[in-house]
């Protein structure tokens, strides 16, 4: 996850790339190479214009409002995975099942443990979540986030922006600093979950 110096997770165009920095993009690329699967919420996938990468991508979506002919599906080097709910529209699930592996993880609310296990059952155990803020909040609330790689870039963007976690209820979670590295005034931190 990345924010500007004034705490923005997105720039004026609604993209995190706008608040990122060249060193941050290097670290993101490295993290992607180290994982088995990239997990992202549908809103993040749309805003950041995700396309095919050299890893499987698992997109979490309640509404399944995707174009099955989009590059994320049609040009994927690995079959895209869609994680959704039993309450998701059946016609959209069927349409996506032709171009993606569809995982049901929960009835009306995301069952984070079930989603993670379904990915692990496919051999995808090193799971990198790239947001967005709602998905990350679900994962933190389920105590399923082991590490948080958080970058603070030397930019200020002003305006309004989402937080790292978007949740209607207060959420308490304790973390320990794993490391702090600086490169070109970009600060890289790795936080480790502190549990019971």
Q: Tell me: the pLDDT tens digits for 87-134? A: 999 999 999 999 999 999 999 999 999 999 999 999 999 999 999 999
Is the Cβ–Cβ distance between 57 and 76 less than 8 Å? yes
Residues of the chain within CATH 3.40.430.10 domain(s) are 1-34+133-196, 36-125
Confidence grade of residue 172 (pLDDT, cut at 50, 70, 90): confident
Domain 36-125: top CATH class: alpha beta
Cα separation, 137 vs 115, in Å, equals 15
Report yes or no: 153 and 2 within 8 Å, Cβ to Cβ: yes
Q: State the fold for domain 1-34+133-196.
A: Dihydrofolate Reductase, subunit A (3.40.430)
pLDDT band at 196 (very low <50, low <70, confident <90, very high): low
């Amino acid at each position: 996850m990345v924010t500007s110096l004034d705490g923005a997770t997105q720039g004026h165009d609604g993209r995190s790339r706008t608040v990122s920095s060249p060193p941050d993009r290097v670290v993101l690329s490295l993290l992607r190479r180290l994982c088995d699967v990239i997990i992202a919420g549908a809103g993040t996938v749309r805003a950041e214009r995700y396309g095919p990468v050299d890893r499987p991508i698992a997109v979490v979506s309640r509404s399944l409002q995707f174009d099955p002919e989009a590059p994320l599906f049609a040009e994927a080097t690995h079959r895209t995975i869609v994680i959704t709910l039993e309450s998701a529209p059946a016609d959209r699930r069927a349409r996506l099942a032709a171009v993606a592996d569809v995982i049901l993880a929960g009835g009306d609310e995301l069952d984070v443990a079930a989603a993670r296990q379904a990915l692990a059952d496919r051999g995808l155990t090193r799971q990198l979540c790239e947001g967005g803020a709602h998905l990350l909040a679900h994962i933190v609330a389920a105590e399923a986030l082991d590490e948080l790689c958080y970058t603070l870039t030397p930019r200020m963007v002003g305006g309004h922006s989402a937080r790292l976690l978007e949740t209607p209820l207060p959420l308490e979670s304790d973390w320990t600093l794993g490391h702090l590295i600086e490169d070109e005034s970009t600060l890289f931190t790795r936080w480790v979950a502190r549990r019971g």
